[in-house]
Structures are given as C-alpha cells and as structure tokens.
Amino acid sequence: MKSEYSTEAAIKAAAAIRRRADSQQPKIGIILGSGLGGLSKSIGDAVRIPFREIPGFPEPTVAGHEGAVIVGSLGGREVVALSGRFHMYEGHPAALAAFPVRVFHALGAQELFVSNAAGGISSKLAVGDLMMISDHLNLMGTNPLVGVEQKEEIRFPDMTDAYSPRLRWLLRTAAEKLGITLREGVYAGLLGPSYETPSEVKMLRLLGADAVGMSTVPEVIVARALGMLVAGVSCITNAAAGVTGSALSHAEVLETTNRVSAAFESLVTEFLARSTAPQLSAIR
C-alpha cells in the first residue's frame, strides 16, 4: 500500500514551492496556530503560495486560518511558514495533519517551530500567557506514522526529548531578553472539535497536562521521525472547561490570540535571531 502523504508526495509539494521561491533555503519551518497567522506579515522578502497551488494540500476550513505557505526571512533566518494548518477534526488523517512537516523537511528544514492556541489547565497559567511546550500527551487516538514506513524516517522515533532542550533554552533566553513571561508545560493533544467536558479536564490534569488543544502532536511526531529538532509555544487563550466555570468559545480564542500576537511575534523573531549563534550548536 502506498501512502498519499509519502516522501515522494512531499518532494512534489516542495518542488512546487521551490518553483515560486527558488532562491530561498529555509532551514526552519514554522507552523502558525489559530489566530497567530499575523506573524507571516513580518516575514521579509515573502513569497506566499496558496494551498491550492501546492499538490497534496487541501483547502483549510476553519475561520481565523488563512491557507498559505510563506517562504522568506525572519530574525535573520530563512524560514518557511504554514499559515492555516490541517486539523484532524476537519476529518483529515493524522498523516495529512503532519504532511506540511514532510514538505518543510523536503525543502531542507532541520528544525520546526510549532504554535497553537490552547486551553489552560494548570492553576499556574492565566489567559494570555505564552507557554513553552516541554512535552506532550498524544490523546488523539492515532499516530501519523501508522502505515508504510517512509524513506529517511525513523520507524520508532525516540520521544524523550521531543521538544529540543537546546531550542527550549534558546526560547527561554529570547523571552528573558524581551521581558516576556514564558511559562512552561505539558500540552495534551485531543481530537476535538468539541471542547472538553469539565470531567475530561480533571482527567487531563491528573494525567499531567498543563494545557489542552486540538493540534500539534501529529506534526511533532513526524518531525522527530525525520530527525528534526522541535520547539513549540502554546498561547493560552482561555481557561479549560470547568476551571473557571465560564463557557468556552472560538471567539474568545481568537480575541486572546489577537491580544498576545505582538508578544508572540517578537518572541519568535528573537528566538530565530538567537538560533543562528554558532557556539550553541554543540548542545541538542
């Protein structure tokens, strides 16, 4: 059986991107979460390629997501960004949710920066906080690596340091320099699209989750299978169900991401600017 989201398919998609942005050599891929797509406007010399022009990419269906791959430079680095990811709750298989990571890798990216909107579970998190992801819980009911093993991929990837200690350190130093409070915690990825019940949030807290969302996990698993280093930030857009007793809405999620997008954008830019420092390359 041949996978629709194979290495060959990723190479084809990467070739379509390269045809439009041939002088760029992105070494890091960035995935912009719900309401965080504004970062793409800060990308210099940007070439925007709509999803419909990329073979294998479907149109996104969620409000607040704009479907494009943007190649350009940010923080002094060449980057490739995804604005409008593919969620499993749209009915997409996990392999498609993670397919853009294969495409980034085919373009030459060795690092991945993921972002998302998430509900805060830990009492240490407030709405509007940025949380560096230290680890995740895959509660999506599947895994994007299920199926045929792809070329260049590790069949049983080690997930011990799924979120690179070196990149986490860089993120922390970037936040310190900017005076941005950066929380840290475990992200639980659930299928969605319904938000959790208060009892499910209680369960997630017992399992060790600090925040909950409906994305990110498939992309990070595939990145690790391809040997890429990963860093990630959750924007805490709301208190998870039952934490404060107020009802959850997608409008609140977008309102919070709007409010913190400037801090998020400066954090990512500073992180990128720091990640070129040669003395750091010895640390994973």
Residues that bind ligand HPA (CB under 6 A): 117-119, 195-196, 212-214, 237-238, 240, 248, 253
Sequence length of the chain is 284
* Beta pairing, strands 44-50 & 68-74: antiparallel
Name the DSSP letter for residue 2. -
Catalytic residue among 46, 65, 122, 228: 65
235 close to 116: Cβ distance less than 8 angstroms: yes
Catalytic residue among 15, 53, 73, 89: 89
**3-state SS, residue 15:** helix
Give 251 or 277: the residue with its C-beta nearer to ligand HPA.
251
Distances (CA, A) of 147 to 95, 96, 134, 158, 269: 9, 12, 28, 18, 36
Catalytic residue at 239? no
Dist. CA 147–CA 19, nearest whole Å: 30
Tokens representing residue 41 in the block: 């406007």
Give 20 or 259: the residue with its C-beta nearer to ligand HPA.
259
Report in angstroms how near the CB of residue 156 gets to ligand HPA at its nearest: 29
Catalytic residue at 143? no
Dist. CA 159–CA 230, nearest whole Å: 11
Give 26 or 64: the residue with its C-beta nearer to ligand HPA.
64
Catalytic residue at 89? yes
Cα 179 off chain centre by: 23
Catalytic residue at 34? yes
- Chain position whose Cβ is nearest to ligand HPA: 119
Catalytic residue among 42, 250, 252, 261: 250
Catalytic residue among 188, 214, 225, 241: 214
Catalytic residue at 23? no
Catalytic residue at 250? yes
Give 16 or 191: the residue with its C-beta nearer to ligand HPA.
191
Catalytic residue at 238? yes
Q: Return the active site residues.
A: 34, 65, 87, 89-90, 117, 214-215, 238, 250
